[in-house]
Amino acid sequence: MSPWADLLEYQRDLWERSILFWDTLHQRADDMLEHERLGLPPLLDFRTETVVDARTFPRPANYALLRILGPADGTSVVAPDPAKPPVVVVDPRAGHGPGIGGFKQESEVGMALGEGHPVYFVVFFPEPCRGQTLADVHHALRRFIETVAERHP
């Protein structure tokens, strides 16, 4: 190829990659806006029920205890074995958004469900409650563990 043909090929490749880059950003922004429109639900790939919501405590905190019911797609899992101890997974606050610790079946949540353990998930909400302190979070987490212990003596 001639140098001019190489230059044109390079420019075309640059143009195509630029379009793909901006399209990816556009799709990501649309996904983010949709997630915000839905109220920023946890990214969990599991059906859940809220057991305790610390936002309702006298000293509120932006955490909740969820019981994992099964995969989001409705597929069945091993029924929880009452003889097995419950597993409590605390969502990591790594900047990825609530629920990242259980956003796929191969997560700790999915593995514990597959082994027949009752599974609970401590999720956080993106914004702290007004006046929330670390002591409030500690109290909420302690209360969550007490609740799980009461449910599984």
pLDDT, one tens digit per residue, over 38-82 is 776 676 778 889 999 999 999 999 999 999 888 777 676 677 888
Asked whether residue 67 falls in the same domain as residue 130, the answer is: yes
Asked whether residue 34 falls in the same domain as residue 54, the answer is: no
The average confidence (pLDDT) of the chain is 84
d(CA 18, CA 69): 43
Asked whether residue 69 falls in the same domain as residue 131, the answer is: yes
* Percent above pLDDT 70 for the chain: 84
DSSP state of 106: T
- The stretch 126-135 carries a mean pLDDT of 91
Asked whether residue 138 falls in the same domain as residue 72, the answer is: yes
Answer whether residue 127 shows pLDDT above 70. yes
Asked whether residue 25 falls in the same domain as residue 82, the answer is: no
Helix (H, G, I), strand (E, B) or coil at 55: helix
Q: Are 93 and 85 in contact (CB under 8 A)?
A: no
Which pLDDT band, with edges at 50, 70 and 90, does 124 fall under?
confident
**What are the residue ranges of helices labelled H in the chain?**
3-37, 108-114, 134-151
Asked whether residue 28 falls in the same domain as residue 54, the answer is: no
Asked whether residue 8 falls in the same domain as residue 72, the answer is: no
Query: H or E segment at 8?
Result: helix 3-37
Answer whether residue 1 shows pLDDT above 80. no
Asked whether residue 32 falls in the same domain as residue 52, the answer is: no
Q: For residue 121, give the nearest of 89, 80, 151, 150 by alpha carbon.
A: 89
Asked whether residue 99 falls in the same domain as residue 126, the answer is: yes
Range of the domain at 3: 1-39
Asked whether residue 34 falls in the same domain as residue 50, the answer is: no
Answer whether residue 89 shows pLDDT above 80. yes
Q: Are 91 and 98 in contact (CB under 8 A)?
A: yes
Asked whether residue 142 falls in the same domain as residue 126, the answer is: yes
Which pLDDT band, with edges at 50, 70 and 90, does 130 fall under?
very high
Which pLDDT band, with edges at 50, 70 and 90, does 112 fall under?
confident
What is the domain count for the chain? 2
Asked whether residue 28 falls in the same domain as residue 9, the answer is: yes
